Amino acid sequence: MSIENTLLEKIPSLDLADFTSGDPDKKAKFVNDLGTAYNQIGFVAIKNHGLSDDLTRDLYASVKEFFSLDEATKKKYEIAGLAGQRGYIGKGKEHAKGSTTGDLKEFWHTGQMVDDPNDPIKSEYPENIDCDELPSFNALTKQAYKTLENTGKMMLRAIALYLGLDEFYFEAKVHNGNSILRSIHYFPILNPDALPPDAVRAGAHGDINLITLLMGASADGLQVLRRDGVWIPITALPEQIVCNVGDMMDRLTNHKLKSTIHRVVNPPREKMGTSRYSIPFFMHPRSEMDLTCLESCIDAEHPKIYEDMTAGEFLDERLREIGLKK
């Protein structure tokens, strides 16, 4: 059955090894299937993504260890003035665009590591924050960051080909880009009756960035909004990650590739006392990238729907809308 016929039932599964295999037929099919999925629903599940089982296991163990630290210790790493771009971000600090109710989560941000001292972009980024109590947490998050950044570059190469662009169109735009690895703890909900009625683990939203690569995608609670208005659960096999389109890519392609709304709902009442962990990698370009809609994505049936804006301007606007920047 083709992807077109299964999209409304589940997100499609693809093998990144088909794109990198050197077989032109497999590569072309991957590009077409990926583009079709992103045109239809904006999500795919990907295997052979580069993350080893050992790294995934060790990273999740370390993330759980960090969020088990006492509140005073975690708050040492919540640094004012960074708009939540590095280190710890406390419970309820972020909310969905259009909402004022904080999400039921806390998280940690690991950002870009610019090795080239001559790249002027280095001055734009705050330094990463290390957790003194957990050296392994620092090392593992940075290793996962580099791995997922490389995977993201492969995905962007496939996207470029689908759009009729040079395969390496995005390469310079994401070199030392403002990407973020977010380690999330959806904490136990111990007194649900005391919460605002609209309080959820993550309110309905589209991601800000070009694409998102999500570890731990098969835990209960993650849902995507189908085009017919029905929410469906996102499921992926243990060896897969989920990769979805972000709002920046949606803008660039004039909504040809769709940033689909998704959310994390609260668990059933009998499971509210349990934690949920998730680790998305938000792939951002450099701030100067022009997000003006591609001319190839504009025609009489698809008039331009977004105003011209750089990635940096769009990120600043959205960080204010979700409460991380004042």
The two tokens of residue 60 are: 């999740």
Residue 243 in this model has a pLDDT that exceeds 50: yes
Structure tokens at 209: 């960035």
- Can you list the alpha helix ranges (DSSP code H) found in 282-326? 311-321
Instruction: Report helix, strand or coil for 147.
Output: helix
Q: Does the pLDDT at position 111 exceed 90?
A: yes
Range among 10-19, 74-83, 144-153 rated most confident: 144-153
Contact 94, 103 (CB under 8 A): yes
Q: What are the backbone angles phi and psi of residue 294, rounded to the nearest 5°?
A: -60, 135
DSSP of 200-254:
-SEEEE--SSSEEEEESTTSTTEEEE-TTS-EEE----TT-EEEEE-HHHHHHTT
- 16-25, 36-45, 219-228, 283-292: least confident range: 219-228
Give the model's pLDDT for residue 9: 64
- Statement: residue 280 has pLDDT above 90: yes
Residue 267 DSSP one-character state: P
Under DSSP, the state recorded for 124 is G
pLDDT digits 0-9 by tens, 56-102: 999 999 999 999 999 999 999 999 999 899 999 999 898 888 888 99
pLDDT the model gives residue 218: 42
Rounded to 5, what percent of the chain is helix, strand, coil?
35, 20, 50
In the chain, beta strands by DSSP E: 13-15, 43-47, 87-89, 106-111, 180-186, 202-205, 211-215, 222-225, 231-233, 241-245, 262-264, 276-283
Question: What is the pLDDT at residue 216?
Answer: 72
Q: What is the mean pLDDT of residues 286-302?
A: 97
Average pLDDT, the chain: 92
- What does the alpha-carbon distance between residue 148 and residue 160 come to, in Å, rounded to a whole number? 18
User: Would you say the C-alpha torsion 268, 207, 143, 80 has a positive or negative sign?
Assistant: negative
What's the whole-number mean pLDDT along residues 127-141?
97
Output the pLDDT for position 184: 95
Read off the pLDDT band of 215 (50, 70, 90). confident
For 247, other C-beta atoms within 10 Å of its C-beta total 20
- CA neighbor of 251 nearest in space, from 173, 306, 297: 306
What average pLDDT does the segment 297-311 reach? 96
Q: Which residues contact 283 (CB under 8 A, 6 or more apart)?
A: 148, 149, 152, 156, 174, 177, 179, 209, 210, 211, 212, 213, 246
Residue of 249 and 9 predicted with greater confidence: 249
pLDDT at 237: 80
Q: What is the pLDDT of residue 112?
A: 98
Q: What is the pTM of this model?
A: 0.94
Return the pLDDT at 7. 39
The pLDDT of residue 304 is above 60: yes
Q: Using one digit for the tens of pLDDT, what is the confidence trace for 25-34?
A: 999 999 999 9
Q: For the chain, which domains are there?
A: 3-321 (2.60.120.330)
| Residues forming beta bridges with residue 14, ordered by sequence position | 46
Residue 194: which pLDDT band, with cuts at 50, 70 and 90? confident
The region of weakest confidence among 80-89, 153-162, 190-199 is 190-199
Q: How confident is the model at residue 219 (pLDDT cuts 50, 70, 90)?
A: low
pLDDT at 317: 92
